[in-house]
Structure 1
Amino acid sequence: MSELLPEIPRLYTALAEWMACIVFISLLRKKLFGWKLIIFLGGGLLVQSAFLVLTKDLPIAFWIPSMVVAAGMMFGLIYVTCQITVVEAGYFSIRAFVAAELVASLESQVRFFLLNGERINMTMDILLLFAVYGVVFFLIWLLEKRHITANSHLNIRQGELLSTLLIGMAVFGVSNMSFVSVRTPFSGQYTQEILNIRTLVDLGGYAILYAYHIQLNDLRIKHELKAMQNIFQNQYAQYQQSKESIDIINYKYHDLKNQIIALRAEDNVEKRNAYLKQMENDIKSYEAQNKTGNHVLDTLLTSKNLYCIKHGITLTSVANGALLNHMDVIDITTIFGNALDNAIEYEKKIEDKEKRLIHVSVFSQKGFLVMRFENYFEGKLNLKEGIPKTTKRDKNFHGYGLKSIQYAVQKYDGVVNVVQKDSWFELTILMPVLTPQNK
């Protein structure tokens, strides 16, 4: 084989593997920054290069184990520098390994084609190396950038990792078969043939993995949209049920008023009059709580308040509901329903009922509509991608309530901010106030 093929420098292979890792690391959310990241990446290149150079002259039986170790180093480089799970790191490492094989193979083929197997000086060789590596890796980065963002996770599962691993192993095995033996049905007999097979198989393998990645990304997006649509529908259904229930309660209160009038017309003792007067004041107080200027918000606050009373939670509100009149009913129910549900769910876990506090405010300030949800909070708030980290077992199905709020707010060019202020969790929504001129 050494006579059939030109020697492929191990340093070139190490550089390709390292650059492939850099492509994915640059797109993923990182754990290391600044000098720590630069030093670690530089050390990774040195270790990768030293390992491949030192294993160059090992017997052919050690070739595959050496490649496995090299792939493991790529895994370590991606996992340590990025905020991803072990499974996700394995997934991206396999894709990086196949991409490295493709670029290294393509560079070898271009060099052989241009020089027809003849040797060139080191300067020209290095220029050709960086030209091919730079162009191809930049194209790969552009492709990957379209479907990988630092703020999104594919939630790769073990089955999907296994599928990716099998594809990667098949691509590596078939593309390098000619380097092990030319006496197979899938091997080439001549240098150009062997290089063609390797490059085309690696290209096909990368294309398959890229298409698989797009499919996983589309499935994740569809799953999120379906989950948020279910949340929208559930919140709207809750609103309709609450509206019907509150209408019935209002009818009952109206009847109760008439009963009070009838009782006062009778010969009643002073104590009964005082009791009836108190009932009447309670009714007025109840009615006053639900007059924000927006019937949808009135219904939501009333229904949530009734639920809070049942569970020992104090819900207070100061809201100018008229500011919400330009918003769609579903958007109002989505924002307030999810925000209050999240706050109520947390407050129910607090043992001291005196600390179960929720406050809602809606007001305008400097040309902006402000919706603020505050609830008593114990401990320290940990955010991941702007969403509080969950303590639930199934972490893959977390945060859709807040995501649905963000989706609804974005329709009005608004923003959502989550912070902790002392012992209070604060969710603030800011959006431009629509006037008759800019509606």
Structure 2
Amino acid sequence: MNDVLPDIPRIYTALAEWIACMIYISILSKRLKRSNLIIFSSIALVVQMTFLAITKNLPIIFWIPSMIVAVVLMFFFIYKSTYLNFLDAGYFTVKAFVVAELVASFQWQLHFFFWSSGYTGSLTEILLLISVYGVAFATIWFLEKRHIPGDGVMNIRQLELLSVVVIGIAVFGISNLSFVTSETPFSGQYAQEILNIRTLVDLGGFAILHAYHLQLSDLRIKHELKAVQYILQNQYTQYQQSKESIEMINYKYHDLKNQIIALRAEEDPDKRNAYLTQMEDDIKSYEAQNKTGNHVLDTLLTSKNMYCIKNGITLTSVANGELLNGMDIIDITTIFGNALDNAIEYEKQIEDEEKRLIHVSVFSKKGFVMIRIENYFEGDLKLEGELPKTTKRDTNFHGYGLKSIQYAVQKYDGVVNVNQKDNWFELEILMPKLTK
């Protein structure tokens, strides 16, 4: 069959596979800096072309193993260039492989239609290659970019990856069946017929994978919204519980004041007087500590500070809560509740209690409201997109705290930035001043 119908040149196939990988790498969150990515991708292109070139004339029995190795090279390229985990990288590798098969097949079908011969290296052939690859891959890039999340994280499960792999194998097997043998009910008999089958099967495979991707994306969005709604409700519930607890504490402090007055009236030794004076000063410092000008923020800071004291964490705050008086209660609890919970969770892991530090500040800056929550941080900050990578094993139920903060801030046309400065993790929120 190969004598009648020349197969796609291996260099064309390698180029298509490399470009397909670059399509997804350009969309996904990249691990490598631009200069390092250029070097690494150039090496990947040379390796892909060299491997397919040296396996060109191997017996048919080595064809499938050679293609498996080519796919593994694509996987390694995507995995090392992005922050994707193993399953997500495998998912995008299958998509890239099917895309490469489709574009290479389509280009070669046009080539055979015009020249009915193999590769000769003429200028017109090269121009056709550039034109078809350019238009086809650009179209796929625009189509895929619309439906891939900014961080590229799909949280693919093993069963979902297996489904995609089965689709990819089926597409590849059926589209190339006629090149192996014509003695099956699904094989073509004539050159143009074989090329049509190959291109149409690849197109159908890409359509199936794209539809499956849209379904997974829809499920992912629903899951994310459900998780964020749970976090919002949980933070608001915590706020209500904290508010009730703090009100009870305030009643106790009020009763304590009356007891002190009564004790002063009964006896007045110097030591007892000094002790009672100290108690009064402590009460005043407690009251002043949480008067930010916003009762919701006061409640949250007091509640979190009480928890921090129990766990050997120092929480300090310099906050003008009046700047938040135009914000919804749920949004305040979402922003400060999640941010402080994340900071507290990290600080609890630090062995040296003197380093367990959290600082909260709310202030006005050039007509904007600035919220800054800092905590002592050891190690290197790893990002997935614009947000820190979750350290929890179960990514399906964690990592939504900062996303819920983003959603709340976006309601007020604000932005969220995370940064690491020396040994401090900083969460900064900048919003226009709110109208009451």
Structure 1 partner of 2:375: 375
Q: 1:75 to 1:306 in 2, by over 3 A?
A: closer
- Comparing 92-101 with 1-10, which one deviates more in the overlay? 1-10
Q: Secondary structure at the match of 2:5?
A: coil
Q: State the Cα distance separating 1:50 from its structure 2 match.
A: 3.4
Q: After superposition, where does 1:316-331 map in structure 2 within 5 Å?
A: 316-331=316-331
Q: After superposition, where does 1:214-363 map in structure 2 within 5 Å?
A: 214-266=214-266, 272-363=272-363
Q: State the Cα distance separating 1:262 from its structure 2 match.
A: 4.2
Q: 1:47 to 1:270 in 2, by over 3 A?
A: closer
Q: State the Cα distance separating 1:356 from its structure 2 match.
A: 3.0
- Consecutive unaligned residues of structure 1, counting only runs of 5 or more, are none
- Comparing 123-132 with 203-212, which one deviates more in the overlay? 123-132
Q: Secondary structure at the match of 1:360?
A: strand
Q: 1:115 to 1:221 in 2, by over 3 A?
A: same
The code of the aligned residue for 1:200 comes to L
- Comparing 116-125 with 102-111, which one deviates more in the overlay? 116-125
Q: Do the aligned partners of 1:370 and 1:430 also contact (CA within 8 Å) in 2?
A: yes
Q: How many residues align?
A: 435
Structure 1 partner of 2:81: 81
Q: Secondary structure at the match of 2:186?
A: coil
Q: Secondary structure at the match of 1:374?
A: strand
Structure 2 partner of 1:140: 140
Q: Do the aligned partners of 1:381 and 1:388 also contact (CA within 8 Å) in 2?
A: no
Tell me the distance in 2 between the aligned counterparts of 1:352 and 1:57.
64
The code of the aligned residue for 1:128 comes to L
| 1:169 equivalenced with 2:165 (yes/no) | no
Q: Do the aligned partners of 1:370 and 1:428 also contact (CA within 8 Å) in 2?
A: yes
Structure 1 partner of 2:125: 125
The code of the aligned residue for 1:71 comes to V
Q: Do the aligned partners of 2:362 and 2:371 also contact (CA within 8 Å) in 1?
A: yes
Q: 1:258 to 1:388 in 2, by over 3 A?
A: same
Q: Secondary structure at the match of 1:349?
A: coil
1:168-221 CA deviation, whole Å, 9 max, x = no partner?
111111111111222211112222322222111111111111122222222222
Q: Do the aligned partners of 2:8 and 2:105 also contact (CA within 8 Å) in 1?
A: no
CA RMSD in angstroms comes to: 2.7
Tell me the distance in 2 between the aligned counterparts of 1:140 and 1:57.
31
Tell me the distance in 1 between the aligned counterparts of 2:374 and 2:50.
56
Runs of 4+ with deviation above 6 angstroms: 116-121
Structure 1 partner of 2:19: 19
Q: After superposition, where does 1:51-62 map in structure 2 within 5 Å?
A: 51-62=51-62
Q: Do the aligned partners of 2:324 and 2:434 also contact (CA within 8 Å) in 1?
A: no
- Comparing 206-215 with 260-269, which one deviates more in the overlay? 260-269
The code of the aligned residue for 1:70 comes to A
Q: 1:240 to 1:150 in 2, by over 3 A?
A: closer
Q: 1:79 to 1:262 in 2, by over 3 A?
A: closer
Tell me the distance in 1 between the aligned counterparts of 2:118 and 2:83.
46
Q: 1:212 to 1:369 in 2, by over 3 A?
A: same
Q: Secondary structure at the match of 1:74?
A: helix
Q: Do the aligned partners of 1:55 and 1:66 also contact (CA within 8 Å) in 2?
A: yes
Q: 1:30 to 1:375 in 2, by over 3 A?
A: closer
Identity %: 71
Q: Secondary structure at the match of 1:230?
A: helix
Q: Do the aligned partners of 1:376 and 1:425 also contact (CA within 8 Å) in 2?
A: yes
Q: 1:259 to 1:394 in 2, by over 3 A?
A: same
The code of the aligned residue for 1:55 comes to T
TM-score (norm 1): 0.89
Q: Do the aligned partners of 2:360 and 2:373 also contact (CA within 8 Å) in 1?
A: yes
Tell me the distance in 1 between the aligned counterparts of 2:157 and 2:415.
32
Structure 2 partner of 1:38: 38
The code of the aligned residue for 1:219 comes to L
Whose relative contact order is higher, 1 or 2, with alpha carbons under 8 Å and at least 6 apart? 2
1:272-306 CA deviation, whole Å, 9 max, x = no partner?
55544443333333222222111111111111122
Q: Do the aligned partners of 2:326 and 2:435 also contact (CA within 8 Å) in 1?
A: no
Q: 1:85 to 1:261 in 2, by over 3 A?
A: closer
- Comparing 182-191 with 195-204, which one deviates more in the overlay? 182-191
1:226-272 CA deviation, whole Å, 9 max, x = no partner?
22221111111010011111122222333333344444454665655
Q: Do the aligned partners of 1:387 and 1:399 also contact (CA within 8 Å) in 2?
A: no
Tell me the distance in 2 between the aligned counterparts of 1:292 and 1:2.
80
Q: 1:435 to 1:250 in 2, by over 3 A?
A: same
Q: Secondary structure at the match of 2:369?
A: strand
Q: Do the aligned partners of 2:9 and 2:119 also contact (CA within 8 Å) in 1?
A: no
Q: State the Cα distance separating 1:118 from its structure 2 match.
A: 10
Tell me the distance in 1 between the aligned counterparts of 2:356 and 2:35.
45
Q: 1:420 to 1:142 in 2, by over 3 A?
A: closer
The code of the aligned residue for 2:293 comes to G
Q: Secondary structure at the match of 1:318?
A: strand
- Consecutive unaligned residues of structure 2, counting only runs of 5 or more, are none
Q: 1:116 to 1:262 in 2, by over 3 A?
A: same
Q: 1:370 to 1:350 in 2, by over 3 A?
A: same
1:45-76 CA deviation, whole Å, 9 max, x = no partner?
33333333333333322222222222223223
Tell me the distance in 1 between the aligned counterparts of 2:51 and 2:265.
100
Tell me the distance in 1 between the aligned counterparts of 2:131 and 2:189.
29
Q: Do the aligned partners of 1:107 and 1:129 also contact (CA within 8 Å) in 2?
A: yes
Q: State the Cα distance separating 1:22 from its structure 2 match.
A: 2.3
The code of the aligned residue for 1:415 comes to V
